[in-house]
Structure 1
Amino acid sequence: MIVHLVDGTYELYRQFYGQLGRHTDEHENAGVMGVLSSTLQLLQDGARHVGVATDHVIESFRNDLWPGYKTSDGMEPDILRQIPVLEDALRAMGVTVWAMEEFEADDALASAVRVACEDRRVHQVQLLTPDKDLGQCVSGRRVVQVDRRNDVLIDEAAVRA
């Protein structure tokens, strides 16, 4: 079994800005539509065990620890508004969603990697994000990252290179 773990916040950003460049008429949920389309493609390509983590709230416990840590200040309001819409739409598709409030989407993805790796039925975990922070989860070819935008698979050798 292959487990696919998606960085939903990254995908929403990517699709939001990608859709802006494609369409002259703005659609209020263009980012959501893009993520749903790419998730549907993932399912049509054979993915059966998919989890998506989102930053339901951008601020986390890290803001209390480190002044100046990232906040939602200055973020595009249309992106923030689409986060709960995306979460609901993915759930309606039958996709597992971890909507993070105290912790971050990265934390959920790293935890999901650990849980998946403890299951002997799981042959590979694919982290669908180019986020280099999650490179610490990559292990051999069992846990890999997939940069879907650039169509690149990143295994442990690639992380170390």
Structure 2
Amino acid sequence: MIVHLIDGTYEIFRQYYAPRPGHLDGDGREIGATRGVVQSVFTMLQDGATHLGVATDHVIESFRNNLWPTYKSSAGMDPLLLGQFGWLEDALRALGVAVWPMVDVEADDGLASAAAVAAADPRVEQVVICTPDKDLGQCVGGKVVQLDRRQDKLIDVDGVIEKFGVPAGSIPDWLALVGDTADGFPGLPGFGAKTAATLLARYGHLEDIPADAADWDVTVRGAAKLAATLVAQRENADLFKVIATVRTDAEVGTVDDWHWSGPTAAFPAWCERFGWPRLAQDAAALAAARS
């Protein structure tokens, strides 16, 4: 059994900003991004996916906003995009897909939690986290891989090292040093991706990097200044690591809950709203062919 875990927030952003016309429903409301994600998920089902779930940021803000003042929020988001998050969740449920709307935590935490549940199930051979989000690289290993669907690129353990220069377990440490502009925290001054990778490839985690640069047995430009920065801003570094570490305790159910058995009675109405009534027939036919 292969389990597919989909980043609904990433997908709806991708569909909304794709260079194609939007789509208005019968009431003149923009619903094109929702339509696009539902189509994309249904394509995965047509291609053979059997157990899948979609995590969304039902509320953009999370506990991390209480930890750092500039952490990403819904401020400035296009209302036409923000307004579609609830629609997406309802439309996917109507399709019969498991949906995890995250409130106190984020979609990334939902995906990480589902990956942990799936990896622990002996029936599962592989867990595919469908997102290019670098935060989810920390989950890769064992049965778990990451898939960038847009580039059709699968990222395994070696792929994480190739991409970041560090193993999956060091991704939170790497992000703590480098920062993440998309998530709204800055990292530490002077620490670029290459420098952070050099240090963490050798020492693994922030707490294992010697405080004195004279004790570093890797060559890094400006080592003394960097070591001093790490000592002076250790509290921030530890905080950024907490922010960058995905949670695995979100409630997502079991693998059996994620089995797709067909659309619900509510799906045809969504397809009418999408201007695509044939999709409801195709979904019902696919479910019948699998039963």
**Short-chain TM bin:** over 0.9
Q: Which has the higher strand share?
A: 1
2:56 equivalent in structure 1: 54
Cα distance change, pair 26–95 in 1 and its aligned pair in 2 (3 A): closer
Structure 1 position 26, deviation (Å): 4.8
Structure 1 position 10, deviation (Å): 0.1
State the superposition RMSD in angstroms. 1.0
In 2, Cα distance between the equivalents of 1:17 and 1:65? 29
Q: Under a length normalisation based on structure 2, what TM-score does the superposition of the two structures give?
A: 0.53
The higher relative CO (CA closer than 8 Å, separation ≥ 6) is in 1
Structure 1 position 79, deviation (Å): 1.0
2:152 equivalent in structure 1: 151
2:85 equivalent in structure 1: 83
* 2:5 equivalent to 1:5: yes
1:64 equivalent in structure 2: 66
SS in structure 1 of the partner of residue 127 of structure 2: strand
SS in structure 1 of the partner of residue 55 of structure 2: strand
* 2:36 equivalent to 1:22: no
Matches within 5 A, 1:29-48: 29-48=31-50
**Cα deviations by residue, 1:24-72 (Å, 9 ceiling, x for unpaired):** x653100001001100000000001010000000000111111111110
Structure 1 position 155, deviation (Å): 0.7
Question: Any unmatched runs of 5+ in structure 2?
Answer: 25-29, 163-291
Question: Any unmatched runs of 5+ in structure 1?
Answer: none
1:114 equivalent in structure 2: 116
Structure 1 position 76, deviation (Å): 1.1
SS in structure 1 of the partner of residue 115 of structure 2: helix
**Cα deviations by residue, 1:112-148 (Å, 9 ceiling, x for unpaired):** 11111110000000000000110000015x2111101
Structure 1 position 22, deviation (Å): 1.6
In 1, Cα distance between the equivalents of 2:9 and 2:56? 5
One-letter amino acid matched to 2:82: L
In 2, Cα distance between the equivalents of 1:131 and 1:62? 17
Which structure has the bigger radius of gyration? Answer: 2
2:129 equivalent in structure 1: 127
In 2, Cα distance between the equivalents of 1:112 and 1:52? 10
In 2, Cα distance between the equivalents of 1:127 and 1:26? 28
